[in-house]
């Protein structure tokens, strides 16, 4: 059987696949393997998880969550999906501050690659991590908590330090969210009033299809409670439930039209009970410092004729700064510009390379789990603590058991 990622554009070259359920079983897999890479839900689009050795699935590392109400944290198995954790938290009166657009992704995989949701006042998913349990290649079990010396380097780890077996996340009391979608915001208005648009609600996403380069096709707003956001430009709310892709049924999307509901049913774009698409897509993302976001979008508008023939949709989201060394928001409030492409990989990779070059002077950082053509030199220039992370990885994995060609390219040869 050929094992692929969700999109089917990556066929893993592993000699064998193991799915340990306990820390001791993880240690045994590491001891018996020449090379090991962890695999979460398979929602990456590059070769970050590939190996010619053992592929260690985290799917069975899904111990029941343990809530610490005093500390306002929940401890979960690394393979737990956000969509499975969320209803358990809600049942106990708790919530996560943020979710990605897909609730189907595993917690440890999302954290390790710097995945994020959206919100001017909300951090990446990784910023909610209070502690991690990691089994190192030597078989040692390390527990790192916020404030420990290695913690800020170990959260967004690319799987280069060890196998994460447990994650402790910050939680807060449950809250309601109402989602509204607005259509056809002029791009010039969005750029002139960027802070007003992105700050109009708790979480905001702008979607552009580039067939009309001067129009933001949709703005999705997620407000706490039943607030009705006010967007500049006099744009109208969509008259019915919509999908961000033209001509696609909105059945998989979370409830819109301003009806308040629990956080877990609104913060993600897609329902856990539905498959949002068949995976026939490619994704890339560039994240720029908030101060350069408007300039980045103006630059991209100049490439609309290159982007439009290959794109399904582009999403623009914001996040607040954090201190995690390889986070997209390390040291700066950031804006993510996410591209969902048609599955035409050679052509898409060529355009990705063009856009990465165009936005490099703005300090653009690639998403670790998506398509990127950037090499070690370019990546090191974008993250001030990059060399410190490389040294940390070499300390945790001196023999390179967790390495693969992707990590060798972006971190340097082990």
In a domain, 181, yes or no: yes
Same domain? For 202 and 350 the reply is yes
Q: How do residues 121-171 score in pLDDT, each as one tens digit?
A: 999 999 999 999 999 999 999 999 999 999 999 999 999 999 999 999 999
pLDDT above 70 covers a percentage of the chain that reads 98
Total number of domains in the chain: 2
- Provide mean pLDDT across the span 286-304: 98
- Provide mean pLDDT across the span 44-64: 93
Confidence of residue 275 (pLDDT cuts 50, 70, 90): low
In a domain, 88, yes or no: no
Q: How far is CA 409 from CA 231, 240, 261, 380, in A?
A: 43, 46, 44, 12
In a domain, 349, yes or no: yes
In a domain, 67, yes or no: no
356: Cβ–Cβ under 8 A, 6 or more apart, which residues?
A: 286, 364, 366, 372, 373, 374, 378
Statement: residue 1 has pLDDT above 60 = no
Residue 102: per-residue pLDDT = 82
At residue 325, the 3 state secondary structure works out as coil
Statement: residue 412 has pLDDT above 90 = no
Confidence of residue 278 (pLDDT cuts 50, 70, 90): low
Residue 309: per-residue pLDDT = 97
The whole domain housing 36 covers: 16-57
Q: What is the mean pLDDT of the chain?
A: 94
Same domain? For 190 and 53 the reply is no
Same domain? For 204 and 349 the reply is yes
CATH code, domain with 31: 3.30.43.10
Q: Is the pTM of this model over 0.75?
A: yes
Q: Which of 206, 351, 363, 347 is nearest to 296 (CA)?
A: 363
CATH code, domain with 228: 3.30.70.2520
Q: How far is CA 344 from CA 213, 216, 279, 283, in A?
A: 22, 24, 13, 11
In a domain, 365, yes or no: yes
In a domain, 3, yes or no: no
In a domain, 408, yes or no: no
Q: How do residues 306-318 score in pLDDT, each as one tens digit?
A: 999 999 999 999 9
In a domain, 188, yes or no: yes
- Provide mean pLDDT across the span 289-299: 98
Same domain? For 190 and 337 the reply is yes
């Amino acid at each position: 059987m050929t094992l692929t990622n969700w999109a089917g554009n990556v066929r893993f070259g592993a000699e064998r696949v193991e799915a340990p359920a306990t820390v001791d079983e993880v240690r045994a897999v590491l001891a018996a393997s020449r090379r090991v890479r962890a695999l979460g839900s398979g929602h990456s689009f590059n070769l970050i998880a590939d190996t010619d050795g053992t592929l260690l699935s985290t799917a069975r590392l899904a111990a029941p969550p343990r809530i610490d109400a005093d500390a306002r944290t929940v401890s979960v198995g690394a393979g737990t999906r956000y969509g499975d954790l969320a209803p358990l938290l809600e049942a106990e009166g708790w919530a996560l501050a943020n979710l990605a657009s897909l609730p189907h992704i595993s917690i440890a995989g999302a954290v390790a690659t710097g995945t994020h949701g959206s919100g001017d006042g909300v951090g990446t998913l990784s910023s909610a991590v209070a502690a991690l349990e990691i089994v190192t290649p030597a078989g040692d079990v390390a527990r790192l908590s916020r404030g420990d010396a290695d913690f800020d380097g170990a959260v967004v780890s690319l799987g280069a330090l060890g196998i994460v077996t447990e994650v402790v996340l910050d939680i807060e009391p449950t809250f309601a969210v109402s989602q509204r979608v607005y259509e056809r915001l002029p791009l010039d208005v969005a750029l002139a009033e960027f802070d007003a648009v992105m700050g109009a609600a708790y979480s905001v996403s702008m979607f552009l299809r580039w067939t009309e380069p001067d129009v933001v096709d949709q703005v999705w707003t997620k407000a706490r409670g039943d607030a009705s956001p006010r967007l500049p430009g006099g744009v109208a709310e969509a008259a019915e439930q919509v999908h961000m892709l033209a001509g696609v049924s909105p059945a998989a999307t979370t409830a819109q039209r301003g009806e308040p509901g629990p956080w877990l049913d609104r913060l993600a774009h897609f329902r856990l009970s539905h498959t949002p698409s068949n995976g026939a897509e490619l994704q890339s993302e560039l994240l720029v410092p908030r101060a350069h976001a408007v300039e980045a979008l103006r630059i991209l508008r100049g490439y609309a004729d290159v982007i439009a023939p290959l794109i399904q949709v582009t999403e623009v989201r914001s996040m607040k700064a954090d201190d995690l060394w390889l986070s997209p928001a390390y040291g700066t409030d950031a804006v993510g510009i996410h591209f969902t492409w048609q599955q035409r990989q050679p052509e898409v990779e060529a355009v990705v390379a063009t856009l990465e070059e165009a936005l490099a002077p703005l300090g653009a950082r690639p998403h670790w789990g998506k398509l990127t053509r950037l090499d070690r030199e370019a990546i090191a220039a974008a993250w001030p603590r990059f060399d410190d992370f490389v040294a940390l990885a070499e300390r945790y994995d001196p023999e390179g058991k967790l390495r693969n060609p992707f990590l060798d390219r972006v971190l340097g040869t082990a």
